[in-house]
Amino acid sequence: MLKAPPLSVYVHMPWCVRKCPYCDFNSHTAPTSIPAEKYIQALIADLEHDLPLVWGRPIGSIYFGGGTPSLFPASHFATLLSAMRARLDLRPDVEITLEANPGALEHDSFTAYAHAGINRVSLGVQSFSGERLMGLGRIHGSDDIDRALQSLSAAGIANFNLDLMYALPGQTPAQARHDVKQAINAGPAHISYYQLTIEPNTAFAAKPPVLPADDAAWDMQQAGMDMLAAAGYGQYEISAFAQPGMHSRHNMNYWRYGDFLAIGAGAHGKITLPADGVVRRYAKHRHPQRYMQGAEGGGWLAEKHVVTDAELVFEFFLNQLRLKGGVNIDDFGPRTGLQWTVVEARVQKAIDMGLLAVFQQRVRPTDLGWKFVNDIQQLFLP
Ligand code: SF4
């Protein structure tokens, strides 16, 4: 039987200084002056409109993603967060994350963002090498990273993540290891370590760079994981590593198939409606100009649909199988409204193949299964 799971809020800030050639997110090159005030008012109006979906449900995390949210001055986050506090039931220990880019912090220091209510930062470092950053088309250099880390330290924000990529154009395994070492030395609570992939409809897809060979990329992945483990960063998801207790609560809610209220241009949400017996997905208008037309333009919503039973099964396994802790059998019924018997044969097939094992109400990928998570996920395709 469907039950409302934990609820988070995702807020999309859609502008970047310029588009990175590997990026397939909903990010738009910022105009000379961002219409920040107008956008924040549109976010508040959009939130207001969505409130009936989540009356009375406590919020465990808020995530400002993008785009580059740090292009907005801290005062705008203070306005938005106070509007959210007035309208939503934020838990006293709510996690509030700001995605920031080292080259886009000219507006404010992290102290100003902390005063506005931000208590966690995710910094898009990607690499500490100036040459690799140029190859990625990033706007920042290693000096910008140093300045951002100093600003974090001055703000007393210890709960921060560094995004780090490997298998970059021209990168050697030794250079990738050096990047991981520098990331560890910066002392973050959390590190996201993930491989550069070429996504369709990006500049890199149109003109692919030369990437390291598969065996070199494998070395980088394994060496990076070993170094992170040795430094006390436990892997809890395919690309996520954290010091004890410092996992991203917001991302954990995604991976555990929780609910998300989504506001902002192109934001995607998922809301469980137990009274109607359905899980709904929806998306807001992608283009910032269209989004900001808001109520006068016919609203913020671009599309919504009820998730079918077959999609619920796939989405549940797609997400929970990413976690080292595996799939929580007790979550399945409340989050999909379906009986476990619907998936038993497929789970058994993966167990027979040696890819999954059952342990204390959890179905976990085995050591072998962890290498073939994509294949296991495909067993649950609609
Ligand atoms: S900074 Fe991030 S969101 Fe913006 S274009 Fe680059 S990768 Fe995309």
| Burial (0-12, 13-18, 19+ Cβ within 10 Å), 240 | buried
Best residue among 15, 27, 140, 204 to mutate for probing ligand 1's pocket (most ligand atoms within 8 Å of CB) is 27
Output the residue whose Cα is nearest ligand 1's atom 3: 67
| N-terminal to C-terminal alpha carbon distance within the chain | 20
Contact 125, 102 (CB under 8 A): yes
Looking at the predicted structure, is the pLDDT value of residue 105 above 80? no
Domains of the chain: 7-253 (3.20.20.70), 324-382 (no CATH)
Residue 17 Cβ < 6 Å to ligand 1? no
Residue 253 Cβ < 6 Å to ligand 1? no
Looking at the predicted structure, is the pLDDT value of residue 362 above 70? yes
The pairing of strands 190-195 and 240-242 is antiparallel
Ligand 1 atom at minimum distance from 18 CA: 5
Best residue among 16, 34, 63, 98 to mutate for probing ligand 1's pocket (most ligand atoms within 8 Å of CB) is 16
Contact 284, 266 (CB under 8 A): yes
172 CA to centre of ligand 1 in angstroms = 24
CA angle 348, 333, 51 (to 5 degrees): 140
pLDDT at 107: 66
pLDDT at 206: 97
37: three-class secondary structure by DSSP: helix
Contact 280, 268 (CB under 8 A): no
Output the residue whose Cα is nearest ligand 1's atom 6: 20
For the residues 335-347, what does the mean pLDDT come to? 97
Dihedral pair phi/psi, residue 344, rounded to 5°? -55, -45
Q: Which amino acid is at 29?
A: T
| Confidence tier at 296 by pLDDT (50, 70, 90) | confident
- In tens, the pLDDT along 40-95 reads 999 999 999 999 999 999 999 999 999 999 999 999 999 999 999 999 999 999 99
pLDDT at 106: 67
Looking at the predicted structure, is the pLDDT value of residue 139 above 80? yes
Cβ atoms < 10 Å from Cβ of 143: 11
Dihedral pair phi/psi, residue 215, rounded to 5°? -70, -35
| Burial (0-12, 13-18, 19+ Cβ within 10 Å), 52 | exposed
pLDDT at 64: 98
Q: What predicted TM-score, i.e. pTM, was given to this entire model?
A: 0.96
Q: How would DSSP label each residue in 283-316? A: EE-SSHHHHHHGGGGT-SEEEEEEPPHHHHHHHH
Looking at the predicted structure, is the pLDDT value of residue 36 above 70? yes
Query: Sign of the CA dihedral 197, 203, 204, 209?
Result: negative
- In tens, the pLDDT along 250-275 reads 999 999 999 999 999 999 999 999 99
- In tens, the pLDDT along 217-229 reads 999 999 999 999 9
Residue 21 Cβ < 6 Å to ligand 1? no
HSE (side-chain half, CA atoms, 13 Å) at 214? 0
- In tens, the pLDDT along 306-332 reads 999 999 999 999 999 999 999 999 999
Residue 20 Cβ < 6 Å to ligand 1? yes
Looking at the predicted structure, is the pLDDT value of residue 277 above 70? yes
Q: Rounded CA gap, 355 and 371, in Å?
A: 9
150 CA to centre of ligand 1 in angstroms = 22
